[in-house]
Structure 1
Amino acid sequence: MNAAMNFSGSYHGDDVQFLLKPLALASFVDVPDKERLIQSGRRHYSEMLSRESLPSARYLEVFRAACAANLERMAGDCLALAGLIAQRRSGPVTLVSLARAGTPVGVVLKRLLGGVFGRETAHYSLSIIRDRGIDQVALEYILARGHAAESIVFVDGWTGKGVISGELQASMADFNASHGCAIDSGLYVLSDLAGVAACAAAHDDYLIPSSILNATVSGLVSRSILNQSIGPADFHGCVYYAEFEPQDQSRAFADSLVERALALAAGEATSAAAVGAPFGATHGASRGAAGEAAALAATLAARDEAARVSRRYMAEAMREHAIADRNLIKPGLGEATRVLLRRTPERLIVRDAASADVAHLLVLAREKNVPVHIDPELPYQAVSIIRNVSDG
């Protein structure tokens, strides 16, 4: 089994262990060809990979602007999520981030759980693929390393329509049944637009800066691959973009987030000490029974509202755009960005073209000649529609 190696991508070795099999792909599939193969059903998206390119100078400027505007918000949400994990798990914590969007979040959470909450934490990043499920070999490896099933926490960056959350629940039901364990299938995210996560720091569509970039903010690791190169005892595969190392943002981005989150934690500790309250009250560690009940009620109400908005929007969008395949509609800034970076978009819809949060999408749309539509009633800041190849 390839499980013995310690593959951390471009991160520090103690930040994360990728449970992925690095592949030396000799050929990549062009995006238009990949789109035709996916939509025709001849190939699954996980079997192919399109070569990534480095972001343009203009796009990097927008990424830096997004960090300047929203890094503080993301750091605060990472701190809040770490506090919620510390509250909901006793003993050592085993973070299992879903590659790739979950990986930067998991790196930050690991450091905060140790540095702020004093918790022993391991962090692995593994693959989960729509219609194919989670990498069971990777999960078996985690358990074989002695990590308790009840210590596992699944982490991702955000939810879009809730597809991956559903895949995770189905996969874990099968895994738990076949392995005689009870791993919690709940997903922990920064922003839960679909109202499907077990735990989220927020439910609004804000620009998470790491959603703007691909490999260069995720340890130089590609999207995961599951094709004929992967044997029954192998982890799912990936490509490591060593040629991008001079432009890698992964460590610096995580370091910046941790630095800001630690400063926020120090400020909260000082404020708590000034009023005689224990640190952690703002993150659910010490609210008391009444406070806990109120916080839980508010969280459930926010999640239910997000789920209602998601269901209503998807039904309306499928009807308005005459789309039968819901996988062609990608709501929210994170998912809309992914489409413009690696799929064939038919159009980009934004609520407010003047919003700084969509500036990177407008740059990508111009670079790729994608039409942009304005819809002030959009419940999200952005939605991407993937081109239906059967429409020509």
Structure 2
Amino acid sequence: MITATSPVALHGTFDAADITFLLKPVLVDSTDVMEKERLIQSGARHYSEMISFEKPPTLAYEAIFADALDRGAERMGREIASLAVALQRISPKIVTLVSLVRAGAPIGVLLARALKRIGVDVAHFGVSIVRDRGLDHNALDFILARRPASSVFFVDGWTGKGAIASELERTLARRAEVEPRLVVLADPCGGAWLAASGEDWLIPSGILGATVSGLISRSILNDDVVGPGDFHGCIVWSHLRGYDRTRPFIETVETHVEAALATTPAAEWTSAHRQERAAASSDVIDAIAARHGVTNRNRIKPGIAEATRAILRRVPERIFVDDPADPDLAALVHLARSAKVPLDRLPGDVAPYRAVTLIRPIA
């Protein structure tokens, strides 16, 4: 049995002023990764009903993260600043950031701090969204009772195939008061409303899980522990406290955000940018699906962060990379070699992505 703590107000290990998670801490049994994969692929269970125990990162993996942060913090700070300036122009007085748990949380914290620094009234919440099941409407109702709908922007780290962007649009189609304005750092599939770039690059927080996200698990939507009036559930991974990098990560990147705010132009993400990226993304997904006989495209996990997380959480069959010597792929290559997952080098054939993981079919 997994155990969890239940704070009165859920902030994880973030500063309480940085984010409020609208999640219900729950207790659920841990599901073995292979069994979880079998249940997902057979249709017996939805992925959100189960969770596998999150292990501490190894010393080698933490060193890879430290190197990624050292190399990527300046770019991340600059791109956060560009998004903040863009949001200030669109909504100069009041902004409500709704970060999609959990990859959106550290991005949203940095973005909220930047907006406060340039004089915007900001509130920041962490909310669950589940593929095929939608956004947590109880959480959204909670926010809209306190903040104007026109001020709401949704935050995530990146897009992969665009499944979450599509889920957000589908969920909000019957809620005309809220626009599905998704803000991300990297949008290689062209699914976001606003992005700092369309490049698939190594966002440092993308290769860690709970230990850079306030020790919060990904969200859980299981009828045994989440009732009709509840927020979606989560685990607080207290056993990872000794490995937590949440606040050091935020403080490191924030210094670069501060340095960039005065000189960085506002991010611009046009329909032409989105269309170009969407076409390129579709082409590479189609090619991989055709080449490997994939009928369920949920088995294809494109982009550095998604490809890396798929090795940690799922059962990978093989990984396609542009160049295995690319330093931005160090975490992915380390995990692949540790798990003895084949790496296929496909120079130029995975663009606009730099890595794609294919999940193994489980009978």
- TM-score (norm. length: structure 1): 0.88
Q: CA deviation at 1:24?
A: 2.7
Q: Tell me if structure 2 keeps the 8 A contact 1:91–1:151.
A: no
Matches within 5 A, 1:316-327: 316-327=287-298
1:363 aligned partner: 334
1:172 aligned partner: 172
Q: CA deviation at 1:147?
A: 0.3
Task: Work out which of the residue numbers 20, 24, 35 in structure 2 matches 1:21.
Answer: 24
1:302 aligned partner: 273
Q: CA deviation at 1:35?
A: 0.1
1:215 aligned partner: 210
2:250 aligned partner: 254
RMSD (Å), alpha carbons: 1.3
Q: CA deviation at 1:371?
A: 1.2
The list of structure 1 runs, each at least 4 consecutive aligned residues, that deviate by more than 3 angstroms after superposition, is none
2:362 aligned partner: 389
Q: CA deviation at 1:244?
A: 1.1
Q: Tell me if structure 2 keeps the 8 A contact 1:350–1:374.
A: yes
> SS of the counterpart of 1:383?
strand
**Is structure 2 residue 345 aligned with structure 1 residue 374?**
yes
Cα distance in 2 for partners of 1:96, 1:382 equals 28
> Counterpart amino acid of 2:85?
G
**Is structure 2 residue 198 aligned with structure 1 residue 234?**
no
Matches within 5 A, 1:321-336: 321-336=292-307
**Is structure 2 residue 112 aligned with structure 1 residue 141?**
no
> Counterpart amino acid of 1:161?
K
| Gap regions ≥5 residues in structure 2 | 1-6
Q: Tell me if structure 2 keeps the 8 A contact 1:130–1:163.
A: yes
**Is structure 2 residue 12 aligned with structure 1 residue 9?**
yes
Q: CA deviation at 1:338?
A: 1.3
Q: CA deviation at 1:237?
A: 0.3
> SS of the counterpart of 2:173?
helix
**Is structure 2 residue 94 aligned with structure 1 residue 99?**
no
Q: Tell me if structure 1 keeps the 8 A contact 2:138–2:230.
A: yes
- TM-score (norm. length: structure 2): 0.95
Q: CA deviation at 1:368?
A: 1.4
Cα distance in 2 for partners of 1:94, 1:283 equals 18
2:82 aligned partner: 80
Q: CA deviation at 1:218?
A: 0.5
> Counterpart amino acid of 1:162?
G
Matches within 5 A, 1:151-230: 151-174=151-174, 176=175, 181-227=176-222, 228-230=224-226
**Is structure 2 residue 157 aligned with structure 1 residue 123?**
no
The structure where helix makes up a greater share of residues is 1
Q: Tell me if structure 1 keeps the 8 A contact 2:186–2:196.
A: yes
> Counterpart amino acid of 1:125?
G
Task: Work out which of the residue numbers 20, 29, 32 in structure 2 matches 1:30.
Answer: 32
Q: CA deviation at 1:265?
A: 2.4
Cα distance in 1 for partners of 2:323, 2:361 equals 25
Q: CA deviation at 1:343?
A: 0.5
User: Does 212-221 or 4-13 show the bigger shift?
Assistant: 4-13
**Is structure 2 residue 279 aligned with structure 1 residue 283?**
no
1:273 aligned partner: none
Cα distance in 2 for partners of 1:166, 1:68 equals 33
Q: How many equivalent residue pairs? A: 354
Cα distance in 1 for partners of 2:74, 2:89 equals 23
> Counterpart amino acid of 1:301?
A
Q: CA deviation at 1:89?
A: 1.6
> SS of the counterpart of 2:126?
strand
> SS of the counterpart of 2:218?
coil
2:3 aligned partner: none
Cα distance in 1 for partners of 2:128, 2:337 equals 32
Cα distance in 1 for partners of 2:86, 2:260 equals 16
User: Does 365-374 or 343-352 show the bigger shift?
Assistant: 365-374
Cα distance in 1 for partners of 2:104, 2:113 equals 15
2:66 aligned partner: 64
> SS of the counterpart of 2:195?
strand
Q: Tell me if structure 2 keeps the 8 A contact 1:104–1:218.
A: yes
Q: CA deviation at 1:5?
A: 4.3
2:316 aligned partner: 345
Q: CA deviation at 1:61?
A: 0.7
> SS of the counterpart of 1:196?
coil
Q: Tell me if structure 1 keeps the 8 A contact 2:136–2:231.
A: yes
Cα distance in 2 for partners of 1:58, 1:103 equals 25
Larger Rg: 1
Shift in CA distance, 265/91, structure 1 to aligned 2, threshold 3 Å? closer
Deviation per residue, 1:349-382 (Å, 9 max, x gap): 1110111000111111122121111111221210
Q: Tell me if structure 1 keeps the 8 A contact 2:299–2:358.
A: yes
> Counterpart amino acid of 1:314?
I
Q: CA deviation at 1:317?
A: 1.0
> SS of the counterpart of 1:141?
helix
Q: CA deviation at 1:206?
A: 0.5
> SS of the counterpart of 1:283?
coil
Cα distance in 2 for partners of 1:346, 1:89 equals 45
Cα distance in 2 for partners of 1:224, 1:107 equals 18
Cα distance in 2 for partners of 1:19, 1:368 equals 35
Cα distance in 2 for partners of 1:75, 1:370 equals 33
**Percent identical across equivalent pairs?**
45
> SS of the counterpart of 1:62?
helix
